[in-house]
């Protein structure tokens, strides 16, 4: 079983079935229980915000509620909310000069939890193993 960290954009695109093949395969394996997809609460929050407030995700019209997004991702979906602790915050502190707050929290969670890769299209994750296209 392989564990992955996923970012908000990947989760939002999952909701509208607009992931590229490699990322889609990771989510399918998560749906099947073969692999585990984890996301810190800040990333899940970003996906909820995007789905509720953007109107479109990857060109697809979206009209939803925060609870529907949470159900689709976590309650009925393949994503597990990853816990964060003092160790995450210590690693986060070492990243804040180089990344946005959200990216630094995601990278810290990925590193502390030792996941295989981050599912993201974000090019700012230089030095981290990522899955997207």
pLDDT digits (tens, 9 = 90+) for 8-44: 999 999 999 999 999 999 999 999 999 999 999 999 9
- The sign of the dihedral angle between the CA atoms of 61, 63, 66, 70 is negative
On whether the CB atoms of residues 108 and 91 are closer than 8 A, the answer is: yes
Q: What is the CATH number of domain 3-120?
A: 3.40.50.1010
> Residue 125 — very low, low, confident or very high, per pLDDT cuts 50/70/90?
confident
pLDDT digits (tens, 9 = 90+) for 91-102: 999 999 999 999
Distance CA 122, CA 114 (A): 19
On whether the CB atoms of residues 73 and 14 are closer than 8 A, the answer is: yes
Cβ neighbours around 126 below 10 Å, total = 9
> Residue 126 — very low, low, confident or very high, per pLDDT cuts 50/70/90?
confident
Amino acid 69: pLDDT: 97
Alpha helices by DSSP H, listed for the chain, are 8-15, 21-31, 41-53, 66-70, 86-95, 101-113
Contacts of 96 (CB under 8 A, 6+ apart): 104
């Amino acid at each position: 079983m392989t564990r992955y960290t996923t970012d908000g954009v990947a989760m939002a695109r999952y909701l509208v079935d607009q992931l590229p093949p490699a990322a889609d395969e990771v989510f399918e394996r998560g749906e099947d229980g073969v692999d585990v997809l984890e996301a810190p609460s800040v990333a899940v929050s970003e996906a909820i915000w995007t789905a509720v407030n953007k109107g479109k995700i990857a060109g697809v019209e979206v009209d939803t509620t925060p609870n529907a997004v949470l159900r689709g991702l976590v309650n009925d979906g393949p994503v597990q909310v990853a816990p964060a602790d003092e160790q995450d915050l210590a690693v986060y502190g070492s990243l804040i000069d180089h990344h946005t707050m959200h990216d630094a929290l995601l990278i810290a969670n990925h590193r502390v939890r030792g996941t295989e890769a981050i599912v993201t299209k974000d090019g700012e994750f230089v030095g981290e193993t990522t899955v997207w296209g």
